Amino acid sequence: MNTSTELQDHSEASYDRSLFASLKVPDYLYLWIGMVGSAFAMNMQIVAQGWLVYEMSASAVDLAWVTLASIVPQFLFSLPGGVLADRLPKKPIIGLAPIINCGATIVMSWIIFTGNVGFWDFVWVGFLNGTVMSLSIPARTAVIPEVVGERLMFNAMAFNTTAWNLSRILGPALAGYMIALLADGDTTSDFGVGCVFAVISVLYFVSGISVLLIKHAGRPSQQTTTQHPLTDIGDCLIYVFRSPVVGGLILLSILPFMFGLSINTLLPAFNRDILFGGADDLGLLMTAMGIGAILGALLLAKLGGTRHKGYWVLGTSAVWGIGVTWFALSSTFVLAFVTIAFIGFVSSINMSMNRSLVQLQVDHAMRGRIMSIDMMSHGFMPLGVLPISWVSEVWGVSLGLALSGAILCVATISMGIAMKGVRGIDTGYSKAVP
């Protein structure tokens, strides 16, 4: 059976331009429900473990190590995860991941309830969560065009972004409320955090069960099953370096992570030092960014048929940079609120469209491995954030953010001028000009 023909026939048969088009595809709906469950679980876990770790040690260094424990696996296992996604049926990989995390969080819940929890417990569970995520996300992402067809890719990725941002807004709030409610005047939060981990385990279980309902197995690529896994990785890296379009899109995804997301890191400092705001003001600013991101994702869901998508990626990246610089110049809370909502709006369109275009521009046999490289690219964030943070500490947070936004804007325009292939991407369903 010809895969490309099958995909094309499917996409043409199921394609519509309604807002919820991709959610009308049953397999994607089950996949999306599973992603919602896992996303809520992850965001609730970040708050719960951070709260208890800091309560136990009052150490920012311990918090950093717990965070690092879940990030390191992205460098170690993302590429192997991409190989698995291309070699094996994707459905078992996607379904097994939340079940493993469910078991781990049940164990953590029990350890917390018994009062024997320590710092290293959060390290091992973070490392396990990060490993499972690294091995499964390439498969989860690569299966989407197989399930919905190429013409619904932008709509589907938009709802992926919507789910993540909803969980980012509501998940931490739910976890925090549970901890505060269940503490009930106790001097520690062990019981509340234990209950949060119990709820997280249920969410992971629901996520795994939803995947069982998917009929599409996520076919492995026959082109990659007969060679050594290291050869698969080497072929993928060569493919990226030799492709001006795919390589260009990945570079354009790295750039915002380095300089566009500096606002996430420096927002607490800007809120306190420039806006003279409290914790409630910081929460409102974070919510504004999340709401903007959701609105941007919903707009993208309607932009599937829009042409000149290469220019859309370049334009939204440059405007993102302008937005960060404009935010740095904000002197009132209202202006900052509106600006950061706009940044969330533009950044959501940019990241979702870029990821969709990457998948549509690569061969089916490479999708899993390419998405693993895309996932690894997020690790470049410290290379931009750390020097910008140093500038902010020495010369002020406003200058640091303004510089970060300016670099993103200028670098995007420069790369856009040099990248003819990216500029040539039209609908995204067909290959761009070389």
Answer for the pair 15, 151: CB distance below 8 angstroms, yes or no. Answer: yes
Answer for the pair 4, 364: CB distance below 8 angstroms, yes or no. Answer: yes
In the structure encoding, which two tokens stand for residue 183, read together?
Answer: 């503490």
Annotate 192-207 with three-state secondary structure. HHHHHHHHHHHHHHHH
Q: CA torsion 33→124→199→53, rounded to 10°?
A: -120
In the structure encoding, which two tokens stand for residue 159, read together?
Answer: 């709802």
What is the SS3 assignment for 194? helix
Tokens 């990226």 belong to which residue? 240
Given this model, what pLDDT does residue 245 score? 84
C-alpha distances in Å from residue 322, one per residue of 267, 282, 316, 333, 406: 16, 22, 10, 18, 7
Query: What CA–CA distance (Å, rounded) separates 215 from 393?
Result: 53
CATH of domain 1-7+17-220: 1.20.1250.20
pTM here is 0.72
CATH of domain 238-434: 1.20.1250.20
Asked if 1-7+17-220 and 238-434 have one fold, the answer is yes
Q: Map out the domains of the chain as residue ranges.
A: 1-7+17-220, 238-434
Instruction: Find the helix packing angle between 153-183 and 279-301, rounded to 10°.
Output: 150
Answer for the pair 70, 132: CB distance below 8 angstroms, yes or no. Answer: no
Given this model, what pLDDT does residue 397 score? 85
* Cβ-based neighbours of 31, under 8 Å, separated by 6 or more: 94, 140, 143, 144, 147, 210, 211, 214
Given this model, what pLDDT does residue 405 score? 93
C-alpha distances in Å from residue 122, one per residue of 65, 88, 91, 150, 197: 9, 31, 29, 40, 12
* Cβ-based neighbours of 19, under 8 Å, separated by 6 or more: 298, 301, 302
If the chain, 434 residues long, is cut into consecutive pieces of 10 residues, what is the mean pLDDT of each piece? 43 58 87 91 82 69 70 78 81 90 93 85 88 85 80 80 80 77 64 89 94 79 60 74 83 85 78 77 78 85 74 93 94 92 92 82 73 71 76 85 94 90 72 47
